[in-house]
């Protein structure tokens, strides 16, 4: 007898399916097991959903990383925010504004020749060769022009070139122009300080804040300087008139508070407009008050007389022989307007007697002379907030002849600000207070 094949039999059920049906719906399985199974399947379902979401996020992140990489070169510039700089009365001297900058993503540009033609037609100052090199590079992000005008941004936007975009950056502006140029200094295209108080800001923590991403817009307090813009304007105006009247190559001046060391005004002409950084590169526009060193001439006689008075051996009525020139070897020291008599200490200063000053210095000796000038801060480089400063020129071998000439301000060269600091000590009762460009009180000095 042969077996007949049953054509109406159902296909054998897979064992996994039978197990699931038995666990979930079988009567022979206790309720606790069924509950555990159902919870397990629910967890699997949620896990699958989260896996799908996670996968999508990973895909998005990979795409976003590529986009971020294309803009990585711009992040430092965008993040570089700077605090306002104000004068002692709160007048703004330097501030940040937002300005659009033009960039390209070479990998996204379809027709580079067309893009170059359109961009250079809209921005004629662009260098065609430079733009071509940048857009032909393999980089994901390239700057094309920093700090363009809003109108230029609109014109380029209308062109609709794929791979060309804009980023808003912080741009430094100086409302007072030339007024406090040497004091404020300037920044580079990335809004980083490269001179003056702007560089001081970066050297004193601002650069670290930028690197940490903490130097954001409007979260920084204004930096208040000691300068008074009104006094600065008056001083600059008078110096400009004098420079023109005497056809001088340069003119400079300082106004200081001798009790606090604050610099109330500082002008060095010719100056520059920090809104036009190219002007600052002209060698004639250096800050002669801090980076120039000069023989200060008869102003140094104040130190010579102060040295004698400080010794306690002489007073203002002490007499000094100025009847004839002072001879030293083959050299003779003369007075411009000789009086032909003994001069009191006061008269040596009043008549600006070279002979009298030389005799006073010789009475103290070479070592005492050097020691006093060192105590007055004239023999070492003066350090202030301004990074730009110069070391004085001092004789390597200081003998009696050096003491004679230095007594009336020749044979030694110092920065004018350095000399002002020393003279301020003579005016304030003998306190040598380092000058500052930051606002401070007498108690803080």
Residue with tokens 């300082």: 254
Same domain, 114 and 203: yes
**Number of domains present in the structure of the chain:** 2
Residue 415, SS3 per DSSP: coil
Same domain, 313 and 216: no
Residue 341, CA distances (Å) to 17, 321, 324, 348 in order: 129, 7, 8, 11
Say how many CA atoms lie within 13 Å of 241 toward its Cβ.
Answer: 6
22 a catalytic residue: no
Is residue 31 domain-resident?
Answer: no
DSSP β-ladder status, 223-224 and 85-86: parallel
Q: Give the C-alpha separation, 369 to 141, whole Å.
A: 63
Q: Is the peptide bond before 185 cis (omega within 30 degrees of 0)?
A: no
- Residue 64 is predicted with a pLDDT of 43
SS3 assignment for 358-406: HHHHHHHCHHHHHHHHHHCCCCCCCCCCCCCCCCCECCCCCCHHHHHHH
Residue with tokens 């100056």: 271
Q: Give the C-alpha separation, 120 to 232, whole Å.
A: 43
Among 205, 224, 243, where does a domain finish?
Answer: 224
SS3 assignment for 62-131: HHHHHHHHHHHHHHHHHHCCCCCEECCCCCEEEEEEEEEEEEECHHHCCCHHHHHHHHHHHCCCCCHHHH
- Residue 48 is predicted with a pLDDT of 63
Among 198, 224, 250, where does a domain finish?
Answer: 224
Is residue 338 domain-resident?
Answer: yes
Helix (H) or strand (E) holding 314: none
Let me know if 213 is exposed, middle or buried by CB neighbors in 10 A (0-12, 13-18, 19+).
exposed
Cα dihedral value 401, 305, 390, 262, nearest 10: 180
Is residue 380 domain-resident?
Answer: yes
Residue 310, SS3 per DSSP: helix
Is residue 251 domain-resident?
Answer: no
- Residue 406 is predicted with a pLDDT of 98
- Residue 204 is predicted with a pLDDT of 85
Is residue 272 domain-resident?
Answer: no
- Residue 445 is predicted with a pLDDT of 76
Q: Which residues contact 407 (CB under 8 A, 6 or more apart)?
A: 300, 301, 304, 354, 357, 358, 360, 361, 362, 369
Please, are residues 426 and 305 in contact by the beta-carbon 8 Å criterion? no
Same domain, 210 and 306: no
Could you tell me the two tokens for 383? Answer: 């350090």
CATH code (residue 122):
3.90.1310.10
Same domain, 218 and 310: no
Is residue 285 domain-resident?
Answer: no
Give me the domain span that covers residue 90.
Answer: 77-224
Same domain, 211 and 302: no
- Pick from 83, 62, 302, 117: nearest CA to 191: 83
Same domain, 315 and 216: no
Residue with tokens 């002979």: 355
CATH code (residue 403):
3.40.710.10
Helices (H), 160-206: 181-184, 196-201
Q: Give the C-alpha separation, 419 to 427, whole Å.
A: 13
Taking the CA atoms of the chain, what radius of gyration do you get in angstroms?
A: 39
Same domain, 94 and 192: yes
- Pick from 356, 319, 350: nearest CA to 334: 356
Could you tell me the two tokens for 195? Answer: 């001179």
Same domain, 202 and 308: no
- Pick from 316, 307, 325, 313: nearest CA to 348: 316
Same domain, 82 and 197: yes
Strand partners, 399: none
Catalytic residue among 298, 344, 363, 391: 298
Residue with tokens 């109108």: 151
Same domain, 101 and 203: yes
Same domain, 214 and 313: no
Could you tell me the two tokens for 203? Answer: 């050297």
Is residue 257 domain-resident?
Answer: no
Among 190, 224, 258, where does a domain finish?
Answer: 224
DSSP β-ladder status, 341-344 and 319-322: antiparallel
- Residue 25 is predicted with a pLDDT of 54
Is residue 282 domain-resident?
Answer: no
Same domain, 90 and 209: yes
- Pick from 234, 273, 272, 270: nearest CA to 255: 234
What pLDDT tens digit does each residue of the chain (445 aa) get?
Answer: 444 444 455 556 665 565 555 555 555 555 555 556 565 656 666 666 666 566 555 554 444 444 444 444 445 445 468 999 999 999 999 999 999 999 999 999 999 999 999 999 999 999 999 999 999 988 889 999 998 999 999 999 999 999 999 999 889 999 999 999 999 999 998 899 999 999 999 998 676 655 555 455 555 789 999 999 999 999 999 999 999 999 999 999 999 999 999 999 999 999 999 999 889 889 899 999 999 999 999 999 999 999 999 999 999 999 999 999 999 999 999 999 999 999 999 999 999 999 999 999 999 999 999 999 999 999 999 999 999 999 999 999 999 999 999 999 999 999 999 999 999 999 999 999 999 999 998 888 7
């Amino acid at each position: 007898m042969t077996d007949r094949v049953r054509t109406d039999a159902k296909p054998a059920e897979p064992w996994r399916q039978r197990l699931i049906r038995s666990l979930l719906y079988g009567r022979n399985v206790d309720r606790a097991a069924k509950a555990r199974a159902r919870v397990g399947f629910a967890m699997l379902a949620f896990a699958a959903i989260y896996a799908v979401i996670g996968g999508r996020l990973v895909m998005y992140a990979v795409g976003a990383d590529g986009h971020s990489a294309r803009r990585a070169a711009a992040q430092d510039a965008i993040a570089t925010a700077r605090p306002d700089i104000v004068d002692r009365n709160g007048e703004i001297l330097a501030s940040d504004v937002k300005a659009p900058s033009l960039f390209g993503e070479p990998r996204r540009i379809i027709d580079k020749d067309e893009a170059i033609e359109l961009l250079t037609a809209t921005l004629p100052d662009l260098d065609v060769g430079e733009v071509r090199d940048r857009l032909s590079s393999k980089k994901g992000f390239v700057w094309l022009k920093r700090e363009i005008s809003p109108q230029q941004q609109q014109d380029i936007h209308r062109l609709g070139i794929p791979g060309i975009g804009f980023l808003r950056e912080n741009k430094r502006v100086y409302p007072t122009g030339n007024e406090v140029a040497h004091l404020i200094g300037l920044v580079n295209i990335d809004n980083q300080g490269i001179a003056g108080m702007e560089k001081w800001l970066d050297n004193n923590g601002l650069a670290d804040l930028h690197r940490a991403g903490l130097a954001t817009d409007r979260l920084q307090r204004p930096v208040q300087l000691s300068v008074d813009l009104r006094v600065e304007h008056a001083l600059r105006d008078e110096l400009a008139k004098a420079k023109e009247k005497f056809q001088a190559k340069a003119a400079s001046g300082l106004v200081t508070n001798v009790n606090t060391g604050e610099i109330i005004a500082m002008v060095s002409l010719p100056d520059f407009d920090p809104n036009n950084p190219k002007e600052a590169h002209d060698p004639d526009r250096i800050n002669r008050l801090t980076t120039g060193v000069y023989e200060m001439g008869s102003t140094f006689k104040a130190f010579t007389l102060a040295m004698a008075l400080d010794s306690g051996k002489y007073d203002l009525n002490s007499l000094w022989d100025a009847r004839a020139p002072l001879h030293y070897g083959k050299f003779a020291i003369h007075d411009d307007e000789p009086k032909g008599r003994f001069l009191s200490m006061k008269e040596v200063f009043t008549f600006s007697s070279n002979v009298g000053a030389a005799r006073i210095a010789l009475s103290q000796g070479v070592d005492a002379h050097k020691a006093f000038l060192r105590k007055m801060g004239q023999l070492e480089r003066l350090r202030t907030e301004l990074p730009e400063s110069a070391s004085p020129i001092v004789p390597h071998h200081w003998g009696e002849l050096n003491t004679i000439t230095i007594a009336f301000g020749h044979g030694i060269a110092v920065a004018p600000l350095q000399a002002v600091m020393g003279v301020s000590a003579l005016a304030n009762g003998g306190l040598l207070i380092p000058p500052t460009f930051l606002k401070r009180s007498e108690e803080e000095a």
